[in-house]
């Protein structure tokens, strides 16, 4: 839920931007790209804007989807001088193949997306060659952030920086009880996409030929090593805008008078394990009477979760708020005391970074990306352990965080300080150092 940068008008017309004396010409491969959205499309755009702010020329390769080209054009105009450094190349995806219709429903969507993505990459490579982008200094592939998809732009000519990518992480089989019927789809995904499709020539060639491979969690790094890449580097793919960082509270400031509030943010699907969050909260209420749970997001499980809240006797303490605007989401972070993150498969989970940026502690499962990039002193990681006992252990961690006033105050200061390392301006500075190392080696 990264802040939609398209909502910010005329934010920079050249002030505070590094002079382009050592500027590079970068081909940015960003299949999902939209400044008006969060998650992967927002991230795809954020890389382009952050690099342009550093004085580089960005040749942005993307696809038309959901009005994103209009949103990109509007944002470029609002950026003034910075925007003129971003040259947009819109490459349509290929037509839908007929044979995809023959697949079972749960496979059809994934197969269609993969085929579209694979075909788009080939078209993007042809477009880049036809428009002289092979003369750029380097290629940086940021979206899709998937190890399995590889990058056809490795064949363009300039050195390729691939990632940060995820996709090597899988839901733990030991905790399939929290996935319910969706576990079968997860097992198929692991077998076909993670294990099977990663053996494709396109994926292995990308790992072999890229000048630099960046992975966003250790699971994906391990998969890359098994496929022959000896030196993947761990770099968090998600970022936040600088303006999201919250100023620390003044000394002696009191917490607002309201019930202790737990926040859960995400799409209501089995892989995010919202049922686990509900059951943990029900146990928390026995220890912290009057506590509240705010659930932000929507999805196919919402009706089932509302019925579960009623059966658990916590419906009056749980508020399902659905999808909110960015400003409403920001207010929800500021009105909460702790974020609960229960996803069983995630590259990282940008809501954790957003919570730390707002000074909010996080109780999360200690695995995959969020376990790799847990903010020191600002989080309570809970080991997966016994799946039956997991709700109780999450509730215990939540109760401990809510009871520790001193720790809450420390997080209000330390969280934004840690998140500052992962703002988009900081990530662009890191990218420059990586680019320099690649070009020096070449």
Query: 260-272: per-residue pLDDT in tens?
Result: 999 999 999 999 9
Q: Please provide the average confidence, as pLDDT, over all residues in the chain.
A: 90
- Please give the pLDDT value at position 14: 35
What does each C-alpha distance from 150 to 66, 76, 189, 205, 400 come to in angstroms? 24, 28, 17, 8, 43
Q: What is the pLDDT of residues 214-237, one digit of tens each?
A: 999 999 999 999 999 999 999 999
- Please give the pLDDT value at position 2: 46
| Percent of the chain scoring above 70 in pLDDT | 90
Peptide bond into 107 cis (omega under 30): no
331, two tokens: 């207010």
Positions of E strands within 112-237 = 138-143, 160-165, 212-215, 233-234
Which residues of the chain does CATH 3.40.50.2000 include?
Answer: 5-239+424-441, 242-421
Is the pLDDT confidence value at 423 over 50? yes
- Please give the pLDDT value at position 3: 46
- Please give the pLDDT value at position 98: 61
Cβ 93 vs Cβ 68: under 8 Å: no
Q: What is the CATH number of domain 5-239+424-441?
A: 3.40.50.2000
CB neighbour burial string for 383-393, b if at least 16 within 10 angstroms, e if fewer:
eeeeeeebbeb
Rounded Cα distance between 290 and 140, Å, is: 50
Which positions ≥6 away from 151 have C-beta within 8 Å? Answer: 29, 121, 139, 141, 160, 162, 206, 210
- Please give the pLDDT value at position 142: 98
- Please give the pLDDT value at position 21: 47
Rounded Cα distance between 389 and 384, Å, is: 9
- Cross-sheet strand order for the sheet of 261-265: 318-322, 292-296, 261-265, 338-341, 362-365, 379-382
Instruction: Give the pLDDT band (50/70/90) at residue 12.
Output: very low
Is the pLDDT confidence value at 1 over 70? no
Is the pLDDT confidence value at 308 over 90? yes
What mean pLDDT do residues 160-176 have?
94
Q: DSSP of 191-204, one letter per residue?
A: IIIIIIGGGSHHHH
Which positions ≥6 away from 11 have C-beta within 8 Å? Answer: 78, 79
What is the CA angle 155-55-22, rounded to 5? 75
Query: Residue 321: helix, strand or coil by DSSP?
Result: strand
- Please give the pLDDT value at position 310: 97
Whether the CA torsion 422, 427, 429, 435 is positive or negative: it is: positive
Is the pLDDT confidence value at 113 over 50? yes
Q: What is the pLDDT of residues 69-101, one digit of tens each?
A: 999 999 999 999 999 999 999 999 877 766 666
φ/ψ (deg, to 5) at 118: -65, -45
CATH class held by domain 242-421: alpha beta
Is the pLDDT confidence value at 367 over 80? yes
What mean pLDDT do residues 239-257 have?
77
């Amino acid at each position: 839920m990264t802040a939609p940068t398209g909502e910010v008008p005329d934010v920079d017309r050249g002030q505070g931007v590094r002079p382009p004396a050592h500027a590079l010409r970068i081909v940015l491969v960003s299949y999902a790209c939209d400044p008006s959205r969060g998650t992967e499309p927002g991230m795809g755009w954020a890389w382009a804007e952050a690099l342009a702010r550093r004085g580089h020329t960005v040749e942005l390769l993307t696809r038309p989807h959901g009005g994103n080209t209009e949103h990109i054009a509007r944002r470029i105009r609002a950026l003034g001088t910075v925007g003129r450094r971003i040259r947009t190349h819109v490459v349509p995806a290929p037509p839908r193949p007929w044979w995809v219709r023959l697949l079972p429903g749960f496979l059809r969507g994934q197969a269609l997306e993969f085929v579209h993505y694979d075909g788009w990459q080939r078209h993007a490579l042809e477009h880049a060659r036809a428009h002289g982008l092979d003369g750029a200094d380097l290629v940086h592939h940021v979206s899709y952030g998937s190890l399995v998809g590889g990058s056809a732009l490795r064949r363009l000519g300039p050195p390729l920086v691939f990632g940060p990518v995820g996709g090597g992480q899988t839901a733990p089989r030991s905790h399939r009880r929290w996935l319910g019927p969706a576990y079968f789809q997860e097992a198929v995904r692991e077998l076909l996409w993670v294990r099977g499709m990663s053996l494709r020539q396109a994926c292995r060639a990308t790992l072999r030929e890229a000048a630099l491979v960046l992975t966003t969690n250790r699971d994906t790094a391990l998969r890359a090593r098994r496929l022959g890449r000896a030196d993947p580097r761990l770099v968090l793919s998600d970022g936040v805008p600088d303006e999201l960082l919250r100023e620390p509270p003044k000394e002696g400031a009191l917490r607002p008078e309201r019930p202790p509030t737990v926040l859960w943010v995400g799409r209501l699907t089995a892989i995010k394990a919202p049922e686990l969050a509900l059951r943990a909260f029900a146990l928390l209420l026995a220890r912290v009477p009057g506590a509240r749970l705010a659930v932000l997001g929507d999805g196919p499980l919402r009706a089932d979760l509302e019925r579960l809240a009623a059966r658990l006797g916590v419906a009056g303490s749980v508020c399902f708020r659905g999808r909110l605007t960015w400003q409403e989401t920001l207010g929800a972070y500021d009105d909460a005391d702790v974020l609960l993150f229960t996803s069983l498969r995630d590259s990282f989970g940008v809501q954790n970074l957003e919570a730390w940026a707002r000074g909010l502690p996080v109780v999360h499962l200690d695995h995959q990306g969020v376990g790799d990039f847990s903010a020191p002193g600002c989080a309570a990681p809970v080991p997966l352990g016994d799946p039956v006992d997991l709700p109780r252990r999450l509730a215990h961690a939540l109760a401990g965080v809510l009871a520790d006033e001193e720790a809450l105050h420390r997080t209000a200061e330390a969280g934004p300080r840690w998140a500052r390392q992962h703002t988009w301006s900081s990530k662009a500075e890191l990218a420059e150092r990586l680019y320099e190392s690649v070009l020096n080696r070449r």
